A and B are shown apart, each in its own frame.
Chain A
Amino acid sequence: MEYMQVVIGILISAILSENFILVKFYGICPFMGVSKKTDTAIGMGMAVTFVMAIASAACWFVDAKILQPLNLGYMQTVAFILVIASIVQFVEMFLKKFVPALYQALGIFLPLITTNCAVLGVALVNVQKGYDFLQSVINGAAGGLGFTLAIVLFASIRERVDKTDCPECFKGFPIALISAGLMALAFMGFSGLKIF
Chain B
Amino acid sequence: MTAILTAIGILGALGLIFGLVLAIASKVFYVETDPRLDLLNECLPGANCGGCGYAGCGGYAEAVLKGEAPIGKCASGGNDCAMKMAEIMGVKAEKVERRVAMVRCSGYKTTDAEGNIVGGKLKGEYEGISDCLAASKVAGRGPTACKFGCLGFGNCVKACQYGAISIKDGVAVVDEEKCIGCLACAAACPRQLIVPVSPAQNVVIACASLAKGAATTRSCTVGCIGCGKCKKTCQHDAIILEKNLARIDYTKCVNCGDCAKVCPKGLIKDSNVEHLPEVTAEA
Contact = CB atoms under 8 A, between A and B. Distances in A.
Interface string B1-33: 001001100110011001101100110111100
A78 B10 CA distance: 12
Contacts, number: 49
Interface stretch (B82-90, B128-136, B215-223, B224-232): B128-136
Interface string A40-80: 00000000000000000000001000110011100100110
B18 A82 contact: yes
B198 to A, nearest CB: 33
A72 B15 contact: no
Given A163-B131, A164-B129, A96 B31 contact: yes
B11 A93 contact: no
Contacts of A78: 11
Nearest to B17: A86
Contacts of A164: 129
Interface string B34-64: 0000000000000000000000000000000
Contacts of A165: 129-130
A72 B29 contact: no
Contacts of B15: 82
A90 interface: yes
Nearest to B128: A165
Interface residues of B, number: 21
A194 interface: no
A170 interface: no
A111 to B, nearest CB: 14
Nearest to B3: A71
A75 B3 CA distance: 11
A98 B31 CA distance: 10
A47 B3 CA distance: 38
A115 interface: no
A132 to B, nearest CB: 22
Contacts of B134: 163
A82 B14 contact: yes
A89 interface: yes
Interface string B97-134: 00000000000000000000000000000000111001
B32 to A, nearest CB: 10
B11 A89 contact: no
Contacts of B22: 86, 89-90, 93
A96 B18 CA distance: 19
Contacts of A97: 28-31
A94 interface: yes
Nearest to A78: B11
Contact of A72 (B6, B18, B31, B130): B6
B10 A66 contact: yes
A171 to B, nearest CB: 12
A82 B16 CA distance: 10
A86 B10 contact: no
Contact of B11 (A71, A79, A90, A94): A79
A96 B26 CA distance: 11
Given A90-B25, A94-B25, A97-B29, A75 B11 contact: yes
Given A82-B18, A86-B18, A72 B25 contact: no
A79 B11 CA distance: 7
Nearest to B133: A163
B154 to A, nearest CB: 13
Given A96-B29, A97-B28, 6 more contacts: A79-B11, A86-B21, A86-B22, A93-B26, A163-B134, A164-B129
5 contacts: A75-B10, A93-B22, A96-B31, A97-B29, A98-B29
